[in-house]
């Protein structure tokens, strides 16, 4: 993994065409955490990291599914070093418990898990709207708690946060961030994915301001038919309609394995740069074998919104991270 030296700023990095998982470097001796690793993109991210020698903590909410996923990786990769761990990002107590159980140093944190568009408003254990609380506050808290372990890793440890092309239609509604007055499944999801991208960018700014070796970047999978589309909270007719649409538009969708490629590029490639956002290069960024720089919506670069969001995440999680109020944070 390359270091921050020579970095030219957000979205300045270039990607060689047709990067594939065969180009992942030897990761022997590296330790990685992947959230939501029991299925979908998280599973394939963990699989390829393990295939290339990393010790991978496969974090998931359901212990049974997590153990089954770890066993599947070990069945596919001889000698794979994987660990299954319980992590519910909708519970700050679970996040603290998970973080306390983890070893140091940590070379890579992949903030992949997510909740997508439950039809009715739900809340985390701690009272946040489920999508904002899980996708944003949960990963903020986890990153903050794992920060000391990342700092103990040699070289340039990485934090990769998975956003979505849905961020382009997202807006941070600070007047109703928790969707308490007006809940729309789609709007709440778009807002959470915009917040994820803002977090990744702001984290990189603060890391550079404090002279840290840690790098922050973001990725998105395009549109892949993962279990995000199969929430148990959805009505049967709604699940049937989504399943039918997934099959009907299958040619436009990325596979789960293909959707993991941008995350794996950000996580492992020597060419990946802090502050950059990577995704597939096919039609409307929905799919494609090529990974490259993804389009960042203007609202994801709003500095005032980023600082306000950061402070809200600190307040909601109760965990401070990279307080730079007395340090000038340069733009990237």
- Which of 189, 265, 277, 278 is flagged as catalytic? 189
Q: Are 188 and 117 in contact (CB under 8 A)?
A: yes
User: What Cα–Cα distance (Å) separates residue 318 from each residue in 36, 106, 110?
Assistant: 23, 22, 21
Note the residue count of the chain: 332
β-strands 158-162, 215-219 pairing: parallel
Rounded distance, CA 130 to CA 117, Å? 9
Told to judge if 189 belongs to the known catalytic residues of this protein, a careful annotator would answer yes
| CB-CB neighbours of 314 under 10 Å | 18
Task: Give the list of residues 6+ apart from residue 11 with CB closer than 8 angstroms, or none.
Answer: 275, 276, 277, 293, 296
Beta strand extents in the chain (DSSP E only): 31-35, 55-60, 81-86, 108-111, 158-162, 215-219, 277-280, 291-293
Cα–Cα distance for residue pair 44/77, rounded to 1 Å: 12
* Catalytic residue numbers, as ranges: 189
């Amino acid at each position: 993994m390359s270091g921050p030296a020579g970095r030219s700023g957000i979205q300045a990095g270039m990607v060689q065409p047709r990067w594939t998982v065969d180009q992942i470097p030897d990761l022997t001796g590296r330790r990685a955490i992947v959230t939501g690793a029991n299925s979908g993109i998280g599973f394939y991210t963990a699989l390829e990291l393990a295939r290339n020698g990393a010790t991978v903590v496969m974090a998931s909410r359901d212990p049974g599914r997590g153990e089954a996923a770890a066993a599947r990786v070990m069945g596919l990769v001889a000698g794979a070093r994987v660990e299954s761990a319980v992590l519910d990002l909708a519970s700050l107590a679970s996040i603290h418990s998970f973080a306390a159980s983890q070893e140091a140093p940590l070379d890579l944190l992949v903030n992949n898990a997510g909740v997508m568009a439950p039809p009715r408003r739900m809340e985390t254990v701690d009272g946040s709207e489920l999508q904002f609380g899980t996708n944003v506050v949960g990963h903020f808290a986890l990153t903050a708690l794992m920060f000391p372990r990342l700092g103990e890793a040699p070289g340039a440890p990485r934090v990769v946060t998975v956003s979505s092309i849905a961020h382009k239609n997202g807006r941070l509604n600070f007047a109703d961030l928790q969707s308490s007055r007006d809940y729309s499944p789609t709007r709440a999801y778009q807002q959470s994915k915009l917040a994820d991208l803002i977090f990744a960018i702001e984290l990189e700014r603060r890391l550079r301001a404090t002279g840290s070796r840690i790098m922050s970047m973001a990725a998105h999978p395009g549109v892949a038919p993962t279990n995000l589309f199969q929430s148990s909270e959805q009505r049967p007719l709604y699940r049937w309609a989504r399943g039918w649409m997934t099959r009907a538009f299958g040619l436009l969708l990325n596979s789960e394995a293909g959707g993991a490629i941008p995350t794996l590029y950000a996580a492992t490639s020597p060419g990946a740069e802090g502050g950059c956002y990577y995704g597939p290069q096919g039609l409307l960024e929905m799919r494609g074998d090529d990974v490259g720089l993804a389009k960042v919506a203007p609202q994801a670069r709003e500095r005032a919104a980023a600082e306000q969001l950061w402070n809200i995440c600190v307040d909601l999680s109760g965990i401070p991270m990279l307080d730079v109020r007395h340090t000038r944070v340069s733009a990237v």
